[in-house]
Amino acid sequence: MVNGLTHYLKEAWKNRDRESVQTRLIEWRASEAVQVVDKPLRLDRARALGYKAKKGIVVVRVRVKRGGRQRSRHKHGRKSRKQHVRKVLKMSYQWVAEVRAQNHHKNMEVLNSYNIGKDGKYYFFEVILVDPSKPEIKSDKELGWICEESNRNRAIRGLTSVAKKSRGLTSKSHSLKVRPSLRAWDRKGK
């Protein structure tokens, strides 16, 4: 059986050499936090998530700092219950990257995103952005749905696939999730 191009691209991504990865990460650390790139690094993954090489579609590399989920502890007197340093962020790092890309490019919508690397300090993601005002996107059969008004600010509203996963809406047990939950309805009657 003969494999296609995407199979070999996937295998090449799995077996990349360490020196090229290190030099790439050094360049990414020196660049801006939200950087437009010419073409996706992982073409197989981008195509699987809806990327097409056409007008109105842009790929952005986003750098997100790792950690950052703890506040610095204050140095003066406070109530003991106010002295916690944990800041619980209920968003995955990838969802944070999508929101930052959305805020940086306000006229575009987030289609999807994927992981491209990490080091000791940062996570790096590529986010696929679509311009819904372009006629090429409006006439596209597969991407035309993103031009509707109900799909504005998808990343901020938690409607991308990563955001839904972070909200707990994609697992099989939650596929038919009712909002609010049935237990909440029971509590209202009491």
The 3-state secondary structure of 18-83 reads: HHHHHHHHHHHHHCCCEEEECCCCCHHHHHHCCCCCCCCEEEEEEEEECCCCECCCCCCCCCHHHC
Cα–Cα separations (whole angstroms), residue 69 to 29, 84, 90, 185 = 20, 12, 10, 33
Residue 180: cis peptide before it, omega within 30 degrees of 0: yes
pLDDT at position 73, please? 72
Domains and CATH numbers, the chain: 5-178 (3.40.1120.10)
Gap between the Cα atoms of 121 and 51, Å rounded: 28
Query: For all residues of the chain together, what is the average pLDDT?
Result: 86
- Can you tell me the mean pLDDT for 67-91? 72
Q: Is the pLDDT of residue 146 over 90?
A: yes
Percentage of the chain surpassing pLDDT 70? 84
pTM of the complete model: 0.81
pLDDT at position 182, please? 61
pLDDT classification of 79: cutoffs 50, 70, 90: confident
pLDDT classification of 86: cutoffs 50, 70, 90: low
